[in-house]
Amino acid sequence: MIDNDLFEPYERLVTIEILGRPVEVPENNRLLRCFQFISMRSISYGDFCWNGDCTNCQFWYTEEGEHGRDDKTALSCRFKVREAMVITRLSEHVKLEGINKERDEGGGMRDEQEVAQES
Ligand code: FES
């Protein structure tokens, strides 16, 4: 369950695109919170300062009507989400379940060694 105390108040979700996938995230929130909304575990336990110091949350993006121009970059902990923005690249520290990381269904990822020991 998502702890809504984490998020700035919002009335609706907006659609953005991340690495080619459309996703819905809460309006009026910093992008790193939006990443947390779609990938609670990996972002909550990720290596992020949340205050603009570490740069681990960096991303690259374009906005509507800007295709073909150079991507801009920003820090997702400082950047408020904009409807229809297109995120083209993420810092290696930003792992989003179902997008650039396998979806974690419940009890956590089991590594190959763990699985091998059971057989
Ligand atoms: S989380 Fe550290 S700069 Fe954004």
Q: What is the pLDDT of residue 41?
A: 95
All domains in the chain, ordered by first residue:
4-118 (3.10.20.30)
Q: Is the pLDDT of residue 112 over 50?
A: no
The Å distance, Cα 116 to ligand 1 centre, comes to: 37
31-68, pLDDT tens digit by residue?
Answer: 999 999 999 999 999 999 999 999 999 999 998 777 76
Alpha carbon separation from 65 to 18, 68, 69, 82 (Å, rounded): 17, 9, 9, 13
65-100, pLDDT tens digit by residue?
Answer: 777 678 999 999 999 999 999 999 999 999 999 999
21-39: average pLDDT: 97
Pocket test for ligand 1, best of 29, 30, 49 (most atoms within 8 A of CB): 49
State the Cα–Cα distance between residues 26 and 66, nearest whole angstrom.
23
The Å distance, Cα 85 to ligand 1 centre, comes to: 20
Q: What is the pLDDT of residue 83?
A: 96
